[in-house]
Chain A
Amino acid sequence: MAYVVVRRDARTQSEGVVEGYAQTAQRWPAQPLARRAHGLAELTGPRLSSRLKTTGADLAGHGARRALGQLIDLRVSIVDEDGAPVPGAMVEIWHCNAAGKYIHPGDSNDAPEDANFYGAARLLADAAGRVELRTVKPGAYPVPDTDGWWRPPHIHFSVWGRVWLSRLVTQMFFPGEPLNERDPILNAVRDPQARGRCIARFVPAAGNALVYEYDLVVRGRNAAAELP
């Protein structure tokens, strides 16, 4: 077997029924999750480059003019638990516009759309396991039917690693946002260091866009590294 996947540590992950997020009480299983041994079915994975089409990497340049908002460059590294890059990792990215409005028809937020912005990208990591995205910083928005819950600015990621159990779906946050402290989703990660790693790093740089760096660590280590 080429890869091993170490079990999740519940402190560094989010799961279960979360206070302040009502739908979790309807949807997270009440029964304990079962454990299984991992074989080929779990420790192999799809090669998606022929199955899913990639998109452009500039969400702020969708229309005739630049999208409204603060222009940002996002530099994302996809690595495994050994810190080794995952070249060719498929990455899906989506987020709302600078006013807090998604392109999704289900978004009822009364915020303006921006014809020059399109908040969805699918990119393939390069040989160094990196993807770069130009976009605008997403706005905060209120969550319907809650007592004043506002989502902090965040960007959604869906990532495939080397094997089926590498699959990672998460959200990236921005440093210095007061709403980060009160967000039930970010704070469902109990370990403060693990939570901190969900926040991008601001990198001072010349140019007309603010630069942020972010690391995504996906499961699925090479078993050879485990040998004595």
Chain B
Amino acid sequence: MKPLVPTAEMTLGPFFPREFAAGANDLAAGAQGEPIEITGRVVQADGRALDNVVLEIWQADAQGRFDNPAFCGWGRAATDSAGMYLFRTVRPGASRGRAPHINFLILYSGLMRQLQSVMFFDHTTDPVLDAIATGRERLVAKKEGASRYRFDIRLRGEGETPFFDD
């Protein structure tokens, strides 16, 4: 049988329900591992900070496992009027062949479909990080204190965040 064509993705639009966007940005509650905060600003080409951008993450647990029934490695946050988001989670461990990292998915009005990016903790060797020709340093979060990481996202323009197509 010929495979079915995946349904066309379309923009999230400006009216994603607020109650869906809120309340899912804390993955650390009850989880084992080193608690961390990840925060950052999302901006567009002209530098304007974007309100109500929806970001989702998917990560391994502290041991690098993606199938830990006691740790759901998924979370969702929305940016505030200053373009800032915040996740509370635990630092993921290295998984098979991969450096510790967190997958990011970005949904927004004016984005015709999801964008995918990846946050790393260190300047390191990793098959996904090594797939980036220019701007790979923008995928490495800046450490801001003992347990706080900064990962800014520029959708377009000077200093643009590298994104992936799958």
**Residue on A with the closest CB to B20?**
A92
* CB-based contact A33/B113 at 8 Å: no
The docked-state distance in angstroms from the alpha carbon of A164 to that of B97 is 18
Q: Is the interface of B mostly helix, strand, loop or mixed?
A: loop
Residues of B within 8 A of A189 (CB): 8, 10
Contact of A23 among B56, B58, B110, B165 (CB under 8 A): B110
The docked-state distance in angstroms from the alpha carbon of A193 to that of B107 is 25
Q: Does B121 contact A (CB under 8 A)?
A: no
The docked-state distance in angstroms from the alpha carbon of A51 to that of B30 is 13
Q: Does B160 contact A (CB under 8 A)?
A: yes
**Residue on B with the closest CB to A189?**
B8
* CB-based contact B72/A6 at 8 Å: no
**Residue on B with the closest CB to A103?**
B17
Which size class do B's interface residues fall under? 35 or more
* CB-based contact B164/A34 at 8 Å: yes
Q: Is the interface of A mostly helix, strand, loop or mixed?
A: loop
Within the complex, the shortest CB–CB distance from A182 to chain B, in Å, comes to 16
* CB-based contact B112/A28 at 8 Å: yes
**Residue on B with the closest CB to A171?**
B10
* CB-based contact A31/B98 at 8 Å: no
Stretch at the interface among B31-39, B83-91, B128-136, B142-150: B128-136
Q: Does A46 contact B (CB under 8 A)?
A: yes
The docked-state distance in angstroms from the alpha carbon of A197 to that of B9 is 12
Residues of chain B from 6 to 41 with CB closer than 8 A to chain A in the complex: 6-20, 24
* CB-based contact A217/B4 at 8 Å: yes
Stretch at the interface among A36-44, A127-135, A200-208: A36-44
* CB-based contact B155/A28 at 8 Å: yes
Residues of chain B from 95 to 111 with CB closer than 8 A to chain A in the complex: 95-98, 101, 103, 105, 107-111
Other than the given A28-B111, A29-B163, A48-B72, 13 more pairs (CB < 8 A) read A7-B166, A8-B166, A13-B8, A23-B109, A26-B155, A27-B111, A30-B156, A33-B165, A34-B132, A107-B14, A169-B114, A170-B10, A171-B10
15 A-B pairs with CB atoms under 8 Å apart are A14-B8, A14-B11, A14-B112, A28-B111, A30-B45, A31-B162, A35-B165, A35-B166, A36-B166, A46-B72, A96-B15, A158-B16, A170-B8, A197-B5, A218-B6
